[in-house]
Amino acid sequence: MKFAFFQGCNIPVRIEQYADSTEAVLRIFDIELVKIPEFNCCGYPVRNVDEKAYILPSIRNMAIAEKAGLDILVICNCCFASLQKAKNVLEKDSALKDEFNTLLAKEGLTYHGATRIRHYLTVLHEDVGIEAIRNKLVNTCKGLKLSVIHGCHILRPREITQFDDSFVPRITEDLVGVTGATSIDWRGSLECCGAALAGLNDELSRRLLQEKITGAREAGADYVTPICSYCHLQFDTTQVNIAAQAGPETDLLSVLLYPQLLGLCLGINEQRLGIARNRTIGVGDIDHIKSLLAPPVEEKKKKVRQQAA
């Protein structure tokens, strides 16, 4: 299986470990991610400025992938929503599609709408499957409690993103569950992290972040697992900046990305997964996570039977 790998703008510069750990995990299941240097920004930064200027960059990206004969795999939620939005708009507006194709023709590109947009979690859940993941596990991580925060753009508007049930999402529950960890029910899991307000209303942005941290802690979370790259930056960068102002005694809620957790359970080296590159993660965190890793029950039984034979 092969996909065009769309990372967006933030991840290659600020969260490389998200891409690295995703690549490492998908390689275990013989999924190849092709990096296409011609890809551009998804258009999200101008979403509220100019509708056409917002949609055209995503259409160009899909035309490039289409020319290569590949579906697109996305790890940034904003990019996922932008690409899905652009696809949805052009399915309903043939005149705009013709207008964009006139522009794309200057580069030898044409948009037909054949390329599918896939979120990496959906690929793991549907294309790979929970049982196939379970069969590849070297370890499970029982006793680990995660507060998963999906972010806004992957769940809403649901008629555009078409990712799971926006009110009761189950994909991440299943994917966390197969590792042996627990995705806890916590206040704030489906709410905005505040990242969209950064630079506009920093006080409100930070208050929303603090509400999420408090909600996760009260629910007993060991780590926060952001699906959205902007949520990651809130918890792994803004939280650190707030703590630096508050003083060295501030207790951080550490970030652990889902592909990092799954990678550990698949036997991938922690350096390859970039866990230490999460700014909120310390040596104690890594030791704690590793201390919870143990072979799956069935694997233990198999080894006992082999030893007995």
Summarised one tens digit per residue, pLDDT across range 224-276 is: 999 999 999 999 999 999 999 887 667 899 999 999 999 999 999 999 999 99
Provide the pLDDT for residue 207.
96
Question: DSSP E strands: which ranges in the chain?
Answer: 2-6, 32-35, 71-74, 117-119, 145-149, 182-183, 223-226
Q: Which two tokens stand for residue 108?
A: 């030898």
For residues 33-54, give the mean pLDDT: 96
Residue pair 235/253 in contact by the 8 Å Cβ criterion: yes
pLDDT category of residue 98 using cuts at 50, 70 and 90: very high
Q: Name the residue among 96, 214, 75, 212 with its Cα closest to residue 153.
A: 75
Task: Return the pLDDT at 65.
Answer: 98
String of b and e for 113-146 (b: at least 16 CB within 10 Å)?
eebebbbbbbbbbeebeeeebeebbebbbeebbb
Distance CA 163, CA 172 (A): 11
Which residues on adjacent β-strands are paired with residue 90? none
Q: What is the CA radius of gyration of the chain?
A: 20
For residue 250, the model assigns a pLDDT of 78
Residues 261, 22: contact at Cβ < 8 Å?
Answer: no
Residue 304 clears pLDDT 50, i.e. is over it: no
Which of 129, 8, 149 lies closest to 73, judged by CA? Answer: 8
Question: Using CA atoms, how far apart are residues 209 and 53, in angstroms rounded to an integer?
Answer: 30
More confident: 299 or 32: 32
End-to-end CA distance of the chain: 39
Residue among 209, 174, 162, 203 nearest 188 (CA): 209
Residue whose pair of structure tokens reads 């294309």 in the numeric block: 127
Q: Are the beta carbons of 222 and 146 closer than 8 angstroms?
A: yes
What tokens were used for 184? 């806890």
Tokens found for residue 190: 């489906």
Q: Can you list the domains of the chain with their CATH numbers?
A: 2-120 (1.20.1050.140), 139-292 (3.40.50.11810)
Phi and psi at 152, nearest 5°, equal -75, -40
At 76 the pLDDT is: 97
What is the average pLDDT score of the chain?
Answer: 94
DSSP 38: T
Residue 249: what pLDDT? 66
Rounded CA gap, 242 and 245, in Å? 5
pLDDT confidence tier of residue 305, bands split at 50, 70 and 90: very low
Instruction: Provide the residue count of the chain.
Output: 309
Q: Is the pLDDT of residue 282 over 50?
A: yes
Whether the CB-CB separation of 25 and 266 falls below 8 Å is answered with yes
Can you give the pLDDT at residue 307? Answer: 53
Identify the pLDDT of residue 251: 87
pLDDT tens per residue, range 72-87: 999 999 999 999 999 9
